[in-house]
Amino acid sequence: MLGLVEAAEAIARREITAMGLLEASLARLDAVNPTLNVEIWRDAEGARRAAEAADTALANGAALGRLHGVPLAHKDMYYQAGKPATCGSAIRRDFVPDYTATVIERLTEAGAYSFAGLNMAEFAQNPTGHNKAFGDCHNPWNPPYITGGSSSGSGAAVAALVTAGSLGSDTGGSIRLPASACGVTGVKPTQTRVSRYGVMPLSFSADNVGPLARSARDCARLLSVIAGHDSRDPTSAREPVPDYESALNGDLRGQRIGVPTNAFTVGADAPVLAAMEAALQVLEARGAQIIRLKLPLMEAINAYNAVVARVEAATVHAEWMRSQPQSYAQHLSGRIYPGFAIPGPYYVEALAKRGPLLRAFCREVFAKVDILATPTIPTCLPTLAETDIDHGPPGTERRFMAVSVNTRPFNYLGLPASSQPCGFDPNGLPIGLQLVARPFAEARLLQVADAYQRETEWHRARPEV
């Protein structure tokens, strides 16, 4: 199965057809879904009509978009008129929206089309891939292990060659965690970089839309298509959108890579630290300067992030929590209910401090470095059983929440961050390297990720599932 950019270019050169690529994707989904449980729904016939139209347009000499003829499957929380959008929940099992998310429209304008809705954590709220309503998603490298969440189906489907790319969402790490756990590349853009119109909300202040794919270049193309202001989402930024692919020149000379000496590596497992140090050596050989530094304000950032996330999730789910609390998984109820008890002044304070903390963080950190590098997940991956907090023994919740400890701070700060594979743990499961940049510096983030992937083969590894 080709990568996303490879597929689009092969179709444009008429080396393959859109229909042939779609049929290969559907056959692959049939082959792996009994093991991985990545699918919630599919629209094979609608996708075949779109593929046939794409092939006809190419034969007639029509102008081609950057994703012409490429079939994609997305986390099942992107609204598409006339198609299901379960949000991974029992409550929305039968929900069919009558309008389409802006990002889906932009992908369609670029020539892509959807063929399936992918499994996800219930209402995008857990870091592991557990799902009460539709069943747990399984890691393609070792199925008893977690995929990372909440974009669990997206990470697993990209890794298992079901789709060349997928939209996920990231409120506390939900793009970066499955990218890390499944051995693919994922990008959480700057807060407001991508429109959220027509996307299931979770936290008004921390939700992000972004891509998962097999390489930094694939993510760059997807982000170039979906980023930019949207009048239907007044929170979306008006910053110009660069051609992210044009920044991928492989040159890291003069780039300063910062490595935190606090928080992000404290307590990390030895295989994860070893993989990260090896990745830093690759970046240094490419011309980057490695700088060790202590990050400021982390205690305040983590405390305020918890307040914002809990209160806003409680607000989004208040009506359903009152009318049908039994429909929620136990772990999800346990995370939402405390949000109702947090005093209003605490929430307002957490919002008010966000801007000053971001400015202080950028002033103290990005004056010294251009990019931060940390492990995406600081530990070797646990199994689904070890993180099943609805049924597991005491201590399970600690392992469950530890998965996302390194990703959450950058949602509160709104900074762009990515994860790319940098090795494997002793159980044969991927390890991810997280890169973080200043606001709207996605081009630099992708430049570093791409330069790393030019020197390594981790992103080309494929599971045997």
DSSP symbol at 199? B
Please say whether the dihedral angle defined by the alpha carbons of residues 99, 104, 105 and 108, taken in this order, is positive or negative. negative
3-state SS of 19-82? Answer: HHHHHHHHHHHHHHHHHHCCEEEECHHHHHHHHHHHHHHHHCCCCCCCCCCCEEEEECCECCCC
Q: Which residue out of 151, 169, 174, 224 is catalytically annotated?
A: 174
First-to-final CA distance of the chain: 14
- Quick check: bond before 150 cis, omega within 30? yes
Give yes or no for a contact between 401 and 378, defined as CB atoms under 8 angstroms apart: no
Distance CA 184, CA 213 (A): 6
Query: To 10 degrees, the CA torsion angle through 313, 319, 324, 329?
Result: 0
Distance CA 92, CA 77 (A): 10
Helix (H) or strand (E) holding 322: helix 298-323
Tokens coding 154 = 């997206």
DSSP symbol at 190? -
Q: Which residue out of 25, 89, 114, 150 is catalytically annotated?
A: 150
Active site residue 89: no
Tokens coding 246 = 């044009």
Tokens coding 359 = 């400015």
Q: Which residue out of 25, 75, 203, 353 is catalytically annotated?
A: 75
Active site residue 150: yes
Distance CA 123, CA 89 (A): 6
Annotated catalytic residues are 75, 150, 174
